[in-house]
Amino acid sequence: MSLADFQNEIYLNGLSDIRPVLPTDSSRLEALAQEKLGGQAFGYVAGAAGTEATARANRAAFDRWRIVPRMLRDTSKPDLSTTVLGTPMPAPVMLAPVGVLSIVHPEGEIAVAKAAKELGVPMILSTAASRTMEQVAEVAGPRWYQLYWPKDRELAESFLSRAAASGYDALVVTLDTFKLAWRPRDLDTAYLPFLRGIGVQNYFADPVFLRAVGGEITEENRITAILHWVANFGNPTLTWDDLAWLRERWAGPIVLKGVQHVDDARKAVDAGMDGIVVSNHGGRQVDGAVASLDCLPGIADAVGDRVSVLFDSGIRTGADVAKAVALGADAVLIGRQYAYGLGLGGEAGVKHVLRCLLAELELTVSLSGLNRVEDLTRDVLA
Ligand SMILES: Cc1cc2nc3c(=O)[nH]c(=O)nc-3n(C[C@H](O)[C@H](O)[C@H](O)COP(=O)(O)O)c2cc1C
Ligand SMILES: O=C(O)C(=O)c1ccccc1
């Protein structure tokens, strides 16, 4: 089985007049999702902070790097499989934590988990998911848990023990979103899913949270519960010293998501973390911030031999994955692309988007004269 078999499958299906239901050109997904989802839900997913300059910079940074293909190198057996922090995957690609997915499709994270499992692609489940971590675990394959570290320590502890009990192997702690940035698309449509009770499911199923709001959520205490969520969601007081608390309470690997500065990457190493995600949250937090890809080589040089270095923000194609890996990422996370697949076609849509990305990645790598993840080094790029 090769990741590029999807290409043969598509052409063979053509002999029976069957064509892919969704486009194979990843750049068309966003426009299609806009047509189908429209308005608020599309704006929430596609949008970014401020003028969206950082979201554009994320894309532009990829365009400044070019692959230089090499010839006559026996690429008959491509194998992009790899293992990151103990989790094996068919290619250096994982699903980024994306919250509130039921705004784009009723099955939300359940459909995502099923599609990812079929392909063996690890999924990182968001604290702000629209299904509980236990519901997702029932149908999911390899999985990590993303923590939004709440103010209430007891609630944080409860999230950690629930995640460990339901088989999430690594913990991803998101640092860059202790509050939401200025996001004009959502502000202009006055849209925040949480206020409508979407994305709070992990909280509403939590014994510590429920105790704080006086028991099970009913029509009567629903507003109180949502306001309690608002008050508790993010903790702006956190500092590097707090990571020791987390380290004591999570036995598996811990990954810090949202690192952009080399010194912060070094601090993560000093705090005993196992990995980082070089990410600017897809340009959704600090408008005017540096492109995530531009931070990657320096950070990989500084800490890549001591912790796993993951990357996200702007990945759209197989070539993008190859470039990020060549610049030092052990694996990449994709965000909006699979959310569009979900919105356009549920589980099958997510699977389609992933199969396209993986096939394109393998074809790009082997047509460039390379076979393995280790072959993707900086000298592959110009
Ligand atoms: C709709 C949406 C919701 C997101 N929710 C979360 C979240 O709950 N937790 C988190 O750590 N990151 C979240 N992110 C950020 C992604 O994990 C990831 O960093 C980003 O989408 C990567 O950029 P890309 O969309 O260009 O691939 C979200 C992103 C989007 C688009
Ligand atoms: O929208 C986001 O980018 C995001 O990360 C988020 C923040 C809070 C809750 C859910 C998602």
pLDDT at residue 123 greater than cutoff 90 = yes
Residue 97 CA, closest ligand 2 atom number: 5
ipTM: 0.99
Q: What angle do CA 121, 127, 129 make, to 5 degrees?
A: 70
pLDDT at residue 243 greater than cutoff 90 = yes
- Confirm or reject: Cβ of 174 under 6 Å from ligand 1: yes
E strands of the chain, at which residues? 82-84, 87-89, 93-95, 123-126, 143-147, 171-174, 254-259, 275-278, 308-311, 331-334
- Confirm or reject: Cβ of 99 under 6 Å from ligand 1: yes
Q: What average pLDDT score do residues 166-188 get?
A: 98
Confidence of residue 62 (pLDDT cuts 50, 70, 90): very high
- Confirm or reject: Cβ of 97 under 6 Å from ligand 1: yes
Ligand number nearest CA of 280 is: 1
The whole-number pLDDT of residue 1 equals 78
Ligand number nearest CA of 283 is: 1
Ligand number nearest CA of 55 is: 1
Per residue in 143-176, pLDDT (tens digit) is 999 999 999 999 999 999 999 999 999 999 999 9
Q: Are 65 and 329 in contact (CB under 8 A)?
A: no
| CA-nearest residue, atom 8 of ligand 1 | 99
Q: Give the number of other Cβ atoms within 10 Å of residue 14's Cβ.
A: 11
Q: What average pLDDT score do residues 309-326 get?
A: 99
Please name the CATH architecture into which domain 5-380 falls.
Alpha-Beta Barrel (3.20)
The whole-number pLDDT of residue 38 equals 84
The whole-number pLDDT of residue 185 equals 98
The half-sphere exposure of 166 on its side-chain side, counting CA atoms within 13 A, is: 21
Task: Consult the annotation and say whether 132 binds a ligand.
Answer: no
| CA-nearest residue, atom 11 of ligand 2 | 99
Per residue in 261-311, pLDDT (tens digit) is 999 999 999 999 999 999 999 999 999 999 999 999 999 999 999 999 999
Concatenate the DSSP letters of all residues of 303-371 into one string: HTTTSEEEE-SS--SHHHHHHHHHTT-SEEEE-HHHHHHHHHHHHHHHHHHHHHHHHHHHHHHHHTT--
Residues in the chain: 382
Hey, which of 98, 100, 185, 203 would you mutate to test ligand 2's pocket, going by the most ligand atoms within 8 Å of its Cβ?
A: 100
CA–centroid distance, 359 to ligand 2, in Å, is 29
CA–centroid distance, 2 to ligand 2, in Å, is 35
What contacts 298, CB < 8 A, 6 or more positions away? 262
CA–centroid distance, 71 to ligand 2, in Å, is 44
Per residue in 40-53, pLDDT (tens digit) is 999 999 999 999 99
Task: Consult the annotation and say whether 150 binds a ligand.
Answer: no
Task: Consult the annotation and say whether 316 binds a ligand.
Answer: yes
pLDDT at residue 342 greater than cutoff 90 = yes
The whole-number pLDDT of residue 273 equals 98
Q: Which tokens in the block code for residue 167?
A: 């088989």
Q: What average pLDDT score do residues 314-338 get?
A: 99
- Reduced to 3 states, what is the DSSP secondary structure of residue 65? coil
Quote the pTM value: 0.99
Q: What average pLDDT score do residues 228-243 get?
A: 97
What contacts 180, CB < 8 A, 6 or more positions away? 192
Calculate the average pLDDT of the chain: 98
Task: Consult the annotation and say whether 146 binds a ligand.
Answer: yes
Q: What percentage of the chain exceeds 90 in pLDDT? A: 99
Ligand 2 first shell, C-beta below 6 A: 99-100, 128, 177, 180, 199, 281, 284
Per residue in 23-40, pLDDT (tens digit) is 999 999 999 999 999 899
Domain ranges of the chain: 5-380
